[in-house]
Structure 1
Amino acid sequence: MAASLWRSVFGGSTAASEDEGGVAFWSTPERAGWLTKQGEYIKTWRRRWFVLKQGRLFWFKDPHVTRASVPRGVIPVASCLTVKGAEDILNRAFAFELSTRTETMYFIADSEKEKEEWINSIGRSIVQHSRSLADAEVVDYDSAKSAARAPSSSSDAKPSHDQD
């Protein structure tokens, strides 16, 4: 239903709406700017406009991002394990890498300051979004354990909760 609502309001495919997660990438990003990105299949370097918002890193061909813009790609930062400098790996100034369990992506910023700001912004987003996923899992496990421990014969028995 949400996917069909997305299509009716914004157009496009369900795959795009699932990747974008309903994020209004065109409005008030946490960070936006130019980076040079290495292609996924053909390892050429292309300059792209990046937008970091609500745990997703989007990229576009140009900086004029509107509601009608279609991202060239998106990385959910919760799937990322590390973001760190990569000048020594690529032999290029201002390079950094973003790694998931299955791949490492490389980027080049325009200055040392921008590289550090991107690393810090993406790093904060990784921590924020991976923590929220972990917290949700802990709540689910605690709820399941509490429900399993609660006696079914007594109607006024209350589940016990550990306090952290």
Structure 2
Amino acid sequence: MEDLWRSATGQDPRPEDYSGIEFWSNPERSGWLTKQGDYIKTWRRRWFVLKQGKLLWFKDPSSASSRSAVPRGVVNVAHCLTVKGAEDVLHRPSAFELSTPHNTMFFLADSDKEKEDWINSIGRAIVQHSRSLADNEVVDYDNSRNSARDGDGDGNKNDATR
């Protein structure tokens, strides 16, 4: 029934969502979390893997142990806005949420320590994988500052936007 629902709603991840990610080998973090369904709000225990800026989930660890494995879901953490505790929202211990521009996903960890470890790992991944955009902006900013210093000496930028 769940597979039928996933097909009908387009929830199955596309291969391009996780191609090139060796999730079966040396993940940044992996472990059990309970995830609330996106459409049918039931709770399912899933095996999660965080690697190379992707949070992937599988039915169990054996489902994630080979190259031919297909995740049940994938989130690109570069598109995530926040990851934070959600005990006050769900009224459940060790709860946290992961928000994207389009939705918010809820998870339950097995302990408060596990919850904090997942929040920290996902938070680091969000910063690391969104940094590439910020780094480009810094490089552009630095280049424009250098051109101002190398320009006519009046501190104004020498570019076409003046």
Q: Distance in 2 between matches of 1:137 and 1:20?
A: 27
Q: Which residue is 2:26 aligned to?
A: 28
Q: Which residue is 1:8 aligned to?
A: none
1:41 to 29, 39, 42: 39
Aligned length: 134
Q: How does 1:70-85 map to 2 (within 5 A)?
A: 70-85=70-85
Q: How does 1:1-164 map to 2 (within 5 A)?
A: 15-17=14-16, 19-64=17-62, 65=64, 66-136=66-136, 139=139
Structure 2 SS opposite 1:101 = coil
TM-score scaled by structure 1?
Answer: 0.74
Q: Distance in 1 between matches of 2:119 and 2:49?
A: 13
Partner amino acid, structure 1, of 2:71: P
Q: Distance in 2 between matches of 1:90 and 1:57?
A: 22
Q: Distance in 1 between matches of 2:68 and 2:140?
A: 37
Moved over 4 A (4+): 137-144
Cα deviation digits, residues 82-101 of structure 1 (max 9, x gap): 10000010000000000111
Deviation at 1:139, TM superposition (A): 4.6
Percentage identity across paired residues of the two chains: 71
Structure 1: runs of 5 or more not aligned: 1-13, 147-159
Structure 2 SS opposite 1:136 = helix
Structure 2: runs of 5 or more not aligned: 1-12, 147-157
TM-score scaled by structure 2?
Answer: 0.75
Deviation at 1:138, TM superposition (A): 5.1
Q: Which residue is 1:155 aligned to?
A: none
Q: Distance in 2 between matches of 1:111 and 1:84?
A: 15
